[in-house]
Amino acid sequence: MSATVETATEIRPFQVEIPQEQLDDLRRRIAATNWPEKETVADESQGVPLAMIQELARHWGTDYDWRKCEATLNALPNFITEIDGLDIHFIHVRSEHEDALPLIINHGWPGSIVEQLKIIGRLTDPTAYGGSAAEAFHVVIPSMPGYGFSGKPSSTGWGPERMGRAWAQLMKRLGHDRYVAQGGDWGAFVVDWMGVQEVEGLLAIHSNMPGTVPPEVDKATLAGEPSPSGLPADELRAWEHLLTTYKQVDYARIMGSRPQTLYAIADSPVGLAAWLLDHGDGDGQPAGGLVSGINRATSDTGELTRDEFLDNVTLYWLTNTGVSASRLYWEYKGGFFNVKGVSIPVAVSVFPGEQYQAPRSWAERAYPNLIYFNKVARGGHFAAWEEPELFSQELRAAFKSLRNGRSS
């Protein structure tokens, strides 16, 4: 092997070390925020309300401590390796249980690896969380290109299809010859496309934002046409939810057409925080799960808290990835919740606050090899972040059938 090739496939340990100067600059900018006047409505219909963002900024600029998040990240094994010309950052936690099933988990937007931190222990060390050794996973959590500590693409073409191929290379490089993949939001697109491309070694996928909408329904919802007649109750509910969702995704339309114009989210911390908070997830605008989180100072049960939300925003800020992350929307020209054509085994968990609740009938049509389908009682678009315990249980159950008879 030549030295060049060795360098390119090398896996380098990585530690997060943000210079104090950057943290001071962030606080300075937050304190110096020039605010607009209050919205002219009493609800969230014009965007993130002034009082909400001012309270968040007050905490962010004073009591919030990034170093805690940095310490959490650095307590985990972080690495960087170059794939397809780009540095890919990832967390890789091997379970101590040798038969553990390798699992690659994809975050979405406006998320990052920060979304997944609370499920790592539960998945890799299930016996410490009420599970059994037979349920363990080896976990790989990459940062998508343009996100977090991964490199920012300098040319076009890094859509979910290409990311899916990169993840397969990553798993191979880590020695995981047979593995499963999980994703929500953009991560759901990536795992769907991994499934469509049947990348090497992939046994099955789990999605918490599955693409199940039948073609005729997808076409009609996008066009705002009346619903096809005779839909059963759960399909009609999904239909209505999709109509609402499509009216709430203006942030996606902007990023899909004009990502570079968002200089705002590179230069203004508060501008960035508002942009990342205003994400329609079906629970109402702005994102229901996130709003609940920023109103929660602490949680004994692992629910999303204000500091966790700020960890994520601060990660975007410190890596200056607001615009590079937005470009993913520009890259992708395919459908959103439509059927992508995955024929390998698929598991689906439906969370009640998701952009739409996939009916079992649609999931069965969309994924002919549906190995698991469950509707859970709690959680929304940021399921792993909002309900880490429930989410982890879902993954254990979803992939259970694949472990039987699997060669170790």
Partner 1 sequence: MSTTVETTTEIRPFQVEIPQERIADLRRRIEATRWPSRELVDDRSQGVQLTTLKALADYWTTDYGPGRIADRLKALPQFTTEIDGVDVHFIHVRSQHEGALPLIMTHGWPGSIIELLETIGPLTDPTAHGGSAEDAFHLVLPSVPGYGFSSEPTELGWFAGRVAGAWPVLMQRLGYTRYVAQGGDVGAAITDAMARQAPEGLVGIHTNLLVPALAGAPLPTDTDEEKAAANALATFRASGAGYLIEQNTRPQTIGYALLDSPVALAAWMLDHDTDSYYKIAHAFVDGEPSGGLTRDHILDNITLYWLTGTGASAARAYWEGGQAAARAAGQAPPPVTIPVGFTTFPGEIWQTPRTWAEKAYPTLMYFNKVDRGGHFAAWEEPELFSTEVRAAFSSVRQ
State which of positions 271-290 bind partner 1 (CB under 8 A): 271-272, 274-275, 277-278, 286
Q: Under the criterion CB under 8 A, does residue 36 sit at the interface with partner 1?
A: yes
Q: Under the criterion CB under 8 A, does residue 374 sit at the interface with partner 1?
A: no
The verdict on whether 329 is a catalytic residue reads yes
The burial of 228, by beta-carbon neighbours within 10 Å (0-12 exposed, 13-18 middle, 19 or more buried), is given as middle
Q: Under the criterion CB under 8 A, does residue 323 sit at the interface with partner 1?
A: yes
Check 329, 332, 367, 372 and give the catalytic one.
Answer: 329
Q: Residue from 16, 48, 181, 371 that binds partner 1 (CB under 8 A)? A: 48
Q: Under the criterion CB under 8 A, does residue 56 sit at the interface with partner 1?
A: no
3-state SS assignment for residue 78: strand
Say how many residues touch partner 1, by CB under 8 A.
49
Q: Under the criterion CB under 8 A, does residue 406 sit at the interface with partner 1?
A: no
The verdict on whether 185 is a catalytic residue reads yes
Q: Residue from 11, 231, 254, 376 that binds partner 1 (CB under 8 A)? A: 254
Q: Which of 358, 390, 388, 387 is nearest to 373 (CA)?
A: 358
CB nearer to partner 1: pick between 67 and 263: 263
Rounded least distance, CB 277 to partner 1, Å: 8
Q: Under the criterion CB under 8 A, does residue 261 sit at the interface with partner 1?
A: yes
Rounded least distance, CB 86 to partner 1, Å: 13
Q: Under the criterion CB under 8 A, does residue 244 sit at the interface with partner 1?
A: no
Q: How far is CA 222 from CA 216, 253, 335, 338, in A?
A: 10, 13, 10, 11
What Rg, from alpha-carbon coordinates, does the chain have? 21
Give residues with Cβ within 8 angstroms of 368, minimum separation 6: 343
Which helix H or strand E contains 309, and what residues bound it? helix 306-319
Task: Tokens for 391, please give them.
Answer: 């989410």
Q: How far is CA 230 from CA 54, 234, 364, in A?
A: 48, 11, 18
DSSP 106: E
Q: Under the criterion CB under 8 A, does residue 35 sit at the interface with partner 1?
A: yes
Q: Residue from 102, 110, 145, 153 that binds partner 1 (CB under 8 A)? A: 153
The alpha-helical segments, DSSP class H, found in 198-284 are 215-223, 233-248, 250-257, 264-267, 269-277
Name the residues annotated as catalytic: 185, 329, 381
What is the contact surface with partner 1 in residues (CB under 8 A)?
33-37, 39-41, 46-50, 53, 152-156, 250-251, 253-254, 257-268, 270-272, 274-275, 277-278, 286, 320, 322-324, 327, 330
